């Protein structure tokens, strides 16, 4: 039975991933339960795992090399799934030094400890934000990512480069996943779909930035998790690799349509207040998933409309 370390495992994506991994593997989680959003949400995300015989939780920070060394010393780790990061484009503009410290220095700590303990496999959650405002769509993995427009995106790009460096220096087999906008059960409350659902139900106004024509490649959480698991299998069965994959739906959704679908499912009208565009927000994201399909056999299964139905059912429950 393989043992996986999932950093940031109490979060939205991590907790959904762990639920699947525990069916056949041992899972170690490192999470600091920070106050970026209500820590009780993360506590609830993992409470059902705490008594599982193959689950172990460490409460700590990826910047803390003492706890990292303890984890790697006391456990035989087969692969690291590195999800821990400070997320959010807009917050990164207000706190660039903190984002640099957590996302870049934290990733470097993970890589250095992996090297010292001879752990050779990593799957890293990067972001579609690294593509910035490229004019050509859909976004392919071989396109330039030198034009990030937020500190958050820049920290993800920097981490990709550092992982490449360690893969070449120390033969660490690496898969970089550029995740496109995830949504679904356990979604963070500050993300658009969760926030808009809450505001419509509570008769609060929705602030729509721009004219509603910006679009995102919304990807249901089950499809994100499927892409991560297929990447774990790929990195576990291959050597001498550094690969980048887009994990998205390849079906971009306009902002105004997203609001309409949520409103229709709730059977309640949205009160929209139109605002100007915000700094750091990209105009669009759109994943070309040809490479992931061909190499990982990745195939998203959930349409946006069905995903919203599932999310709202979960949210009301």
4 an active-site residue?
Answer: no
Q: What is the DSSP string of 137-170?
A: SSB-TTS------SHHHHHHHHHHHHHHHHHHHH
3-class DSSP assignment, residue 27: strand
CA pair distance 103, 86, nearest whole angstrom:
6
Q: Which residues, in sequence order, are CB contacts of 95 under 8 Å at separation 6+?
A: 86
Choosing from 152, 166, 242, 286, which is the catalytic residue?
152
Contacts 24+ apart (CB under 8 A), 143-150: 149/280, 149/282, 150/89, 150/90, 150/92, 150/93, 150/279, 150/280
User: Which phi and psi angles does 239 have, rounded to 5°?
Assistant: -125, 160
Which residue from 185, 208, 221 is spatially nearest to 272, judged by alpha carbons?
208
Largest CA distance in the chain: 56
- The one-character DSSP state at 276 is P
Which residue from 108, 132, 138, 143 is spatially nearest to 244, judged by alpha carbons?
143
The tokens for 54 are 């193959």
The answer to whether the beta carbons of residues 252 and 284 sit under 8 Å apart is yes
Q: Give the CA distances from residue 189 to residues 41, 185, 199, 224, 241, in Å, rounded to whole numbers and listed in that order.
A: 9, 11, 11, 18, 36
Give me the active site residues, please: 152
């Amino acid at each position: 039975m393989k043992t996986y370390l999932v950093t940031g495992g109490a979060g939205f994506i991590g907790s959904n991933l762990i639920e699947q991994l525990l069916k056949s593997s041992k899972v170690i989680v490192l999470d600091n339960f920070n106050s970026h959003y209500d820590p009780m949400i993360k506590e609830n995300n993992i409470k059902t795992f705490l008594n599982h015989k193959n689950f172990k939780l460490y409460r700590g920070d990826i910047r803390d090399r003492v706890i990292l060394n303890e984890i790697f010393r006391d456990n035989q780790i087969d692969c690291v799934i590195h999800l821990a990061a400070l997320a959010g484009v807009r917050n990164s503009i207000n706190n660039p030094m903190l984002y640099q410290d957590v996302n870049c220095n934290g990733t470097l700590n993970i890589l250095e400890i992996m090297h010292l303990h001879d752990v050779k496999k990593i799957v890293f959650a990067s972001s579609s934000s690294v593509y910035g405002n490229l004019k050509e769509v859909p976004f392919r993995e071989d396109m330039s990512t030198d034009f990030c427009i937020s500190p958050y995106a820049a920290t993800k790009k920097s981490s990709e480069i550092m992982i490449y460096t360690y893969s070449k220096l120390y033969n660490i087999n690496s898969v970089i996943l550029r995740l496109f906008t995830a949504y679904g059960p356990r979604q963070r409350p500050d993300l658009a779909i969760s926030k808009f659902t809450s505001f419509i139900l509570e008769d609060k106004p929705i602030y729509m930035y721009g004219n509603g024509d910006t679009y995102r490649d919304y990807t249901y959480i089950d499809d994100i998790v499927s892409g991560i698991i297929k990447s774990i299998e790929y990195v576990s069965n291959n050597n001498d690799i550094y690969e980048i994959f887009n994990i998205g739906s390849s079906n971009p959704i306009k902002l105004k349509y997203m609001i309409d679908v949520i409103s229709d499912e709730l059977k309640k009208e949205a009160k929209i207040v139109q605002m100007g565009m915000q700094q750091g927000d990209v105009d669009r994201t759109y994943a070309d998933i040809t490479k992931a399909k061909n190499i990982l056999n990745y195939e998203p299964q959930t349409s946006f409309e069905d995903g919203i139905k599932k999310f709202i059912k979960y949210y009301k429950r």
